[in-house]
Structure 1
């Protein structure tokens, strides 16, 4: 099964499995940083105030677009850990129908123990990123429904 055919839940399970290979949190942070380094470069034209996530201590930009009735995300951050976090979210949510993203339960963050290992400000930023991604999905879902 290709990545495009996997559900949001299946990709979350894959992320949980990957993080289970690491015993220590410093290893998990190193992996997060590595994931952030692999994040596709965000076009500078998307690094605008409008695309900036509110509620993040670091600067985080999120661009979303619709292609073939599926939502795709692109993101960047000026902080290495946050860039890793947003890269996970991009991976989990991109390439799915907006309705699936909008309705998805996000449990991989708790399952890998991320929430309790983030500072309160990073945790709030993560919630803000998730919220914006879901809002974008709802907006694209409404757009698709209006075209039917």
Structure 2
């Protein structure tokens, strides 16, 4: 397991909620999301294929799984700064975890930090599509 990753998906969600609580308004939170997106590791160009593309997103998003049922890792990227930040949050919660934990974990942080109210409908749909695809990859390993 990545030594920087919290011990559980639940802890990762709590950490995200704590971080977003520091910001007073959504302008600051969006800037933080953009900054998180800029910190995503480089994404291999050969991962930008139709097979790994997440459909349902207004922007282009690719999600590549690796690993096995005991520890799944995800690489992802987007052509949108805010979506890249959303990816960074999703990967913190779901990447480098057992497939069973990934499938069982509901994305409570989306409600908790108020994202659900502050994303456009197309971004919300895209985030939901990304989570569905990620969980499907994990379920296929079980």
1:28/1:78 CA distance change after superposition, 3 Å: same
The CA distance in 2 between the partners of 1:10 and 1:86, in whole Å, is 17
Deviation at 1:69, TM superposition (A): 2.4
Which position in structure 1 is the counterpart of 2:53?
Answer: 52
Does the alignment pair 1:137 with 2:138? Answer: yes
Which position in structure 2 is the counterpart of 1:21?
Answer: 22
The CA distance in 1 between the partners of 2:8 and 2:70, in whole Å, is 15
Matched length: 140
1:19/1:44 CA distance change after superposition, 3 Å: same
Assess if the C-alpha contact under 8 Å between 1:36 and 1:80 holds in 2.
yes
The CA distance in 2 between the partners of 1:55 and 1:4, in whole Å, is 28
Which position in structure 2 is the counterpart of 1:38?
Answer: 39
The structure with the larger Rg is 1
Which position in structure 1 is the counterpart of 2:11?
Answer: 10
Assess if the C-alpha contact under 8 Å between 1:66 and 1:140 holds in 2.
no
Instruction: Normalising by structure 2, report the TM-score.
Output: 0.95
More contact order relative to length (CA 8 Å, sep ≥ 6) = 2
Unaligned runs of 5+ in 2: none
How much is the aligned-residue C-alpha RMSD, in angstroms? 1.3
Which position in structure 1 is the counterpart of 2:100?
Answer: 99
Assess if the C-alpha contact under 8 Å between 2:69 and 2:98 holds in 1.
no
Alignment deviations for residues 13-38 of structure 1 (CA, whole Å, 9 cap, x no partner) = 00000000001100000000000000
SS of the counterpart of 1:50?
Answer: helix
Which position in structure 2 is the counterpart of 1:89?
Answer: 90
- List 4+ stretches of structure 1 deviating above 4 A: none
Deviation at 1:68, TM superposition (A): 8.2
Which position in structure 2 is the counterpart of 1:117?
Answer: 118
Unaligned runs of 5+ in 1: 142-148
